[in-house]
Amino acid sequence: MARIVMKFGGTSVADLDRIRNVAQRVKAEADKGNEVAVVVSAMSGATNQLVDWCQKLSPLFDAREYDAVVATGEQVTAGLTAIALQNLGADARSWMGWQIAVETDGQHGKARISSIEADELIERMKQGQIPVVAGFQGIGPDNRVTTLGRGGSDTSAVALAAALKADRCDIYTDVDGVYTTDPRIVPKARKLSKITYEEMLELASVGAKVLQTRSVELAMKEHVRVQVLSSFSDAPGTMVVDEDEVVEQEIVAGIAYSRDEAKVTVRRVPDRPGVAAAIFVPLAEAHINVDMIVQNVSADGTTDMTFTVGKTDLPRATAVLEQARQQIGYAEISTDPNVAKISVVGVGMRSHAGVAGTMFRTLAERGINIQVISTSEIKVSVLVAAEYTELAVRALHTAYELDA
């Protein structure tokens, strides 16, 4: 007997038939003698509709009211899923964030969970009741509804699993696991049976949109075993686990890509101490995340600074830099949204040299020019022209012997 949290995303509860399917899966786990808690997202499309209404009424909407409106999506699904479970003869009830309570820091629209009062849920689960928890939502210190930001239901599920001391947190989604790369680009991509939290974090943050980054961070911190699997098939999924649970470690776990970033080059910046701060502090103050950064070697006392920002932040980033032109003292700014970031990820890199070399050689053989390079302990990322995305991903997938 195990204690399991089962989380179902928006496509898994998109209509009544799918909610019935979810109820059957949950009931099946409970019938095996497991204690089960369920976390649900809003029906797919529901959240977008609610967000759209808020934005149309006021571009500068009050985040507290946005939360009150948007949190209804998960409330609806929680109630409907409880009804579907009851219809199968299960003892189930819905829980909203404020009822449990899922306490958050009150940062409306992007709240972080501070604690979950799990005692009553555990007591009821021991008696066979299945709690159906509205994901994505909590309550702030001022007794108002908060939401966790897009994709927050994954975080709700992992936090609940930690609070319940669950044996496993199963994240049901529309893909059946984590692949070595995007199967739409590389048909030979393999499903990984296990992946470490660290690798998953790198894959999630570079574009493999399977799990929300924060949920993986939380799972790693709280040692929650997360499984990613499909609600539409019975295939086993991918377990996201501690590094020591992965016995036969591949050097490279997967190849990720992202076309969500744009390149910014600030040309002929005076090459003196403080100039990086002059560029990046105003961007940070405008809440613009900067990712890859490279500084050219100096020539004539000036240098070029290249970095990437989210594509949607590009207009704001250039505006901020133009406003700070005097302080920075650059000659010109050039931008390029037609770039892709390709990343090779694997904890095995720590103990194996040559991973980056293989990457650069493979891309060079295909004639793909590398514009920016950045590395971490378990990842090498390069920026290339967007048109080479598929070619680069396929070549690297083969080069690291990931093809099925």
- Tell me which residue has tokens 């570079």: 206
The whole-angstrom separation of Cα 5 and Cα 160 is: 8
Nearer to a copy of itself, 91 or 242 (CB): 91
SS3 state at 180: coil
In DSSP notation, 323-353 reads HTHHHH--SEEEEE--EEEEEEE-GGGGT-T
The nearer residue to a copy of itself, 131 or 254, going by C-beta atoms, is 131
Q: Which DSSP symbol is given to 43?
A: P
Contact 340, 257 (CB under 8 A): yes
> Minimum distance between the CB of residue 49 and a copy of itself, rounded to whole angstroms?
10
Q: Shortest distance, CB of residue 3 to a copy of itself, whole angstroms?
A: 23
CB closer to a copy of itself out of 15 and 322: 15
Nearest residue (CB) to a copy of itself, 138 versus 346: 138
Q: Which is nearer to a copy of itself, 76 or 333 (CB)?
A: 76
Q: At closest approach, how far in Å is the CB of 76 from a copy of itself?
A: 5
3 state SS of 125: helix
Which residue, 89 or 273, is less far from a copy of itself as judged by CB?
Answer: 89
State both tokens at 299. 């020539």
What are the Cα distances from residue 99, in Å, to 37, 82, 94, 145, 210? 15, 15, 9, 11, 29
Closer CB to a copy of itself, 100 or 195, in the complex = 100
Helix-strand-coil percent breakdown of the chain, rounded to 5?
40, 25, 35
What one-character-per-residue DSSP string does 203-247 give?
A: HHHTT-TTS-HHHHHHHHHHT--EEEEETT-----EEEE-GGG--
Interface residues with a copy of itself (CB under 8 A) are 16, 19-20, 50, 53-54, 56-58, 61-62, 64-66, 68-69, 71-72, 75-76, 78-80, 82-84, 86-87, 93-94, 96, 98-99, 143-145
- If the CB atoms of residues 50 and 391 are measured against a copy of itself, the closer one turns out to be 50
Half-sphere exposure at residue 223, Cβ-oriented, CA atoms within 13 angstroms: 5
The rounded distance, in Å, linking the Cα atoms of 380 and 372 is 11
The least CB distance from residue 69 to a copy of itself, in Å, is 4
CB of 70 to a copy of itself, least distance (A): 8
Two structure tokens written together for 139: 């309550």
Q: What is the DSSP letter of 133?
A: E
The distance of closest approach from Cβ of residue 365 to a copy of itself in the complex, given in angstroms and rounded to an integer, is 55
CB of 153 to a copy of itself, least distance (A): 16
**Backbone CA torsion sign across 271, 274, 276, 278:** negative
Give me the least distance between CB of 50 and a copy of itself, in Å please. Answer: 7
Query: Which CB sits closer to a copy of itself, 76 or 185?
Result: 76
| DSSP code for 287 | T
Shortest Å distance, C-beta 41 to a copy of itself: 15
Distance of CA 375 to the CA centre of its chain: 20
